[in-house]
Structure 1
């Protein structure tokens, strides 16, 4: 064990003092309900030697009435130097991580905030996010940003709420010392060099979650190809890895290609074809950032059938469909992001490992679900309130169970249809009721009891099997008030029965095995 010195204790205490617990979401501030964001133009210089940023964010917005106060979010650690509207400096108040701007008497729909300062340091990225400053093996600076738990307030002034996305996208214009590169969202529009600095101008016209606006700095090896999407479009595909890992870049690109093909098969064409499909190596494990996913899994590829699988890469890529294309407006419904994406991870096993690998994976995950919290959190939850492991595992298990209930011929087209429905995609937000209503309408089945049980409670049906006569058994699911189809294996084979609180009789010379493959969650 490493010797725990007074110096290390002091450093630990200092880190804890510096650590912040920024949260976001919850009820939308009444002042922020009065306007919507159309576009962000973020222009920053990254100063690695001082671990700071300096620049501005130009925010284009719409409001149906004249605003007395334009309220944005920005942590107090940054100094706001000035705010400009209609070519004039305007008044503002910056305190308690809130930036209140007093608009000038004009019809203008744009404000530019100039700010800067030392960046908040990520304590345990990506779970406790912020900026991560590292150096690679060649002593080059390497900077990553993660902010799912904290929101965009840790790097830019914004309307920082999951219900708010800029309807016309964002520009991210980052200046760094030469020869550093910056990977960001969208497409690289322009690179300009001046003196000893280089500026990268990235742009996306798609709506984007504010915490997904992202930039990573380093000296990277790039590999790329043109990916032929199931839509027929050729989409740029890129990977950027550190120079020390340049020999792994082509392998990573191939893993990304196979994962994208797999995601497209089950969820539809890649959602952002006008931009790119990409990952960049980061000094933390990973995070979904629209069209530039963070990757820090150290190339731990696992053979799966004839291909290689990287769980981290595949999971973050899956968020392009669920999280980035299909987005919730309330963190209470975060399971739609994480549960559906985690189920997409299981489908990689199905596609490349076969049914045996798939069911082995499902059973391994299911046995570790504690059923301690409902998958759906209370309305107006913050990110911290809604984020817990079961939105992944139990969320995925609900989708798996739904597949078992509906059957593949209904389930797979239904999931793809949901991910393609314009009511729930891009600029439009989605909630749990949207999903459950869609499933019931599409399948023409009453699944209210199923969803109420598995999404909103921690209860599980209690399986009861009783002997009846010489070669008979009765089977029931206690503590529920509905029926659902369940496979039952008897001496005569596997049959599919509607089980519920009322006992169902079966004939068998051996004790029936209820749900032998593990489609549903039961107390056995």
Structure 2
């Protein structure tokens, strides 16, 4: 996520991290980590607000097709690992350079338990520069949020910390906090146990989940809930947890969440996590797409859109439940699939509730901010920091808008929903840009390779050239491309779609033609 609301902040701030570290992730996967897959994480942690520290253990269940000498996990050096065990036996380990190497020679184990503790890294500028955010609410209660999209899970637990690694059997989060604090986390709340002045929350999900989507938030919250009826027919719990000071806003934001979920379902298909919940929790930072427990910190800044209220941050983060969580990439090179399609989902809210005029006003306003400074798709094996820039949102969304214009609504919208629900690209099966291009071409029967290569992989933009020919003739072409694009052209007889490319097309009109009058394509005019 790192919501589109504050891209300007990202562009104006340099990257620095707590403790002076740059905990980027992605890039080529470590050869030792290619040898195994994580099936499940069980994280048992106690949170200590006064010291801003954590203590506990993580159980990592894995599978491998080879004999492992070393199980290499990622965990920042700021934590102290006190013990590693497998089958109740102490294991030798090394913890340095943010790597935890566990020596498992001659061990038939498929799980390890790591005991660790330490002061948490503090988020400098969450969620862009993530970590733990420890604050007090306006009533003096402790309030903790966690953000880690740019850093990965290693800032809070031992993990195979690469975007290609998602635990196929989900995660258990067992979080202990002082009374009377509540913990909101992924999945379903199975039970709450009391132990003197402490209480422990047992959350679990069986769905695959990306590392930065694993999350927990602590605070004193007011809860509102209802049952959401999905287009699939599933009855899904829907929750909002807001600070006590904002409890008078809880019912309103619950309704906003409901409308946004319905809107996403119309264009993307059924909510992806029906066995868990739809939920948001108020966080001491702007927002993030944590699976089934989206972070919300937008101060209830609703705007009226048609007959409903709209919160652009809530809607954007919720859209990541489809693109980012359900459809996820294994290489940050393809980050735009998360952010660009989700940002386009924001524009679809304008279309659905404000109509075509509101939609095109949003589209054309965004176009002015696109500088074409970097390709939308990054080189293979990019890190998160290398791949993350504003145009994966804005230009990524505009590419989707252009596809709508090229394909027409009767093809585009079924194509979008089909992509979001194709089992080849969802849940445990990740996706890349090549998959998306091939899917669009196959689904539509069109050859859009030139379009995708131009707008995804380059910073070049076709230039419209119009030359007068005789009294009623104009030659129109698109310079800078070696293929043709279907483009709307407005003449004295109205709007007609023509295939334009480098070779000029003669158009008869008493007035100069206007190429792409509604703004479907990114063109130099």
Fold in common (TM above 0.5): yes
Structure 1 position 17, deviation (Å): 7.4
Q: Is the 8 A contact 2:70 2:103 kept in 1?
A: yes
Deviation at 1:507, TM superposition (A): 1.5
Q: Which residue of 2 aligns with 1:329?
A: 330
What is the CA-CA distance between 1:336 and the residue it aligns to? 0.3
Asked if 1:70 corresponds to 2:71, the answer is yes
CA contact (8 A) 2:91 2:104 kept: yes
CA contact (8 A) 2:291 2:321 kept: yes
SS in 1 for 2:495: strand
**Alignment root-mean-square deviation, CA:** 0.9
Residues 472, 506 of structure 1: 8 Å contact kept: yes
Match of 1:234 in 2: 235
- The alpha-carbon deviation at position 164 of structure 1 amounts to 0.3
Q: CA deviation at 1:18?
A: 2.9
Structure-2 residue corresponding to 1:346 = 347
Residue aligned with 1:379, SS: coil
How far does residue 25 in structure 1 lie from its aligned partner after superposition? 0.4
TM-score when scaled to structure 2? 0.96
SS at match of 2:321: coil
Relative distance call for 1:80 and 1:50 in structure 2 (3 A) is same
Segment of structure 1 superposing worse, 77-86 or 17-26: 17-26
Matches within 5 A, 1:232-311: 232-311=233-312
1:158 corresponds to: 159
Distance 1:466 1:407 in 2: 29
Q: Distance in 1 between matches of 2:19 and 2:58?
A: 25
Counterpart in 2 of 1:416? 417
Contact 1:472 1:508 in 2 (8 A): yes
Alpha-carbon contact 1:90-1:104 (below 8 Å) kept: no
Aligned to 1:3: none
1:236-260 C-alpha deviation (Å, 9 max, x unpaired): 0000000000000000000000000
Q: Is the 8 A contact 2:17 2:129 kept in 1?
A: no
- 1:87 equivalent to 2:111? Answer no
Match of 2:134 in 1: 133
Post-superposition offset of 1:16: 7.5
1:109 corresponding residue in structure 2: 110
The Cα shift of 1:474 comes to 1.1
**Conserved? CA contact 2:18–2:123, under 8 Å:** no
CA distance in 2 between counterparts of 1:259 and 1:482 reads 39
Q: Which runs of 4+ in 1 moved over 6 A?
A: none
CA distance in structure 2 between the aligned counterparts of 1:112 and 1:43, rounded to whole angstroms = 10
CA shift at 1:511, angstroms?
1.4
SS at match of 1:377: coil
Q: Is the 8 A contact 1:86 1:106 kept in 2?
A: no
Find out whether 1:452 has 2:453 as its counterpart.
yes
Identify the residue that residue 187 of structure 2 maps to in structure 1: 186
Answer whether contact 2:17 2:23 (CA < 8 A) is retained: no
Matches of 2:524 and 2:359 in 1, distance apart?
A: 22
> CA shift at 1:19, angstroms?
3.8
Deviation string, structure 1 residues 288-336 (Cα, Å, up to 9, x no partner): 0000000000000000000010000000000000000000000000000
Is residue 144 of structure 2 the alignment partner of residue 122 of structure 1? no
**Cα distance in structure 2, aligned partners of 1:105 and 1:81:** 22
The answer to whether residue 481 in structure 2 is matched with residue 480 in structure 1 is: yes
Q: What is aligned with 2:197?
A: 196
Separation of aligned partners in 2, 1:262 and 1:467: 46
**1:39-76 Cα shifts (integer Å, max 9, x gaps):** 00000000000000000100000011221000000000
Deviation larger for 174-183 or 501-510: 501-510
Deviation at 1:103, TM superposition (A): 1.1
Residue in 2 aligned with 1:380? 381
| Correspondence for 1:523 | 524
1:96-115 C-alpha deviation (Å, 9 max, x unpaired): 00000001523110000000
SS where residue 58 of structure 1 aligns? strand
1:20 deviation in Å?
2.5
Secondary structure at the residue paired with 1:430?
A: coil
Distance 2:508 2:311 in 1: 45
Q: 1:16 to 1:46 in 2, by over 3 A?
A: closer
Q: Is the 8 A contact 2:173 2:204 kept in 1?
A: yes
1:505 aligned residue: 506
Q: Which residue is equivalent to 1:8?
A: none
Where 2:376 maps in the other structure, the secondary structure is coil
Paired position in structure 2 for 1:4:
none
User: Map of 1:21-40 to 2, 5 A cutoff?
Assistant: 21-40=22-41
Q: Which runs of 5+ in 1 are unaligned?
A: 1-14
Cα distance in 2 for residues equivalent to 1:382 and 1:230: 37
Superposition deviation, residue 86 in structure 1:
1.3
Mapped partners of 2:252, 2:342: distance in 1: 23
Matched, 1:369 2:355: no
Q: State the Cα deviation string for residues 81-123 of structure 1 (Å, max 9, x = none).
A: 0000111111000000000000152311000000010000000
Cα distance between partner residues in 2 of 1:507 and 1:347: 36
**In the alignment, which residue of structure 1 is the partner of 2:3?**
none
Higher relative contact order (CA 8 A, sep 6+): 2
The aligned length equals: 510
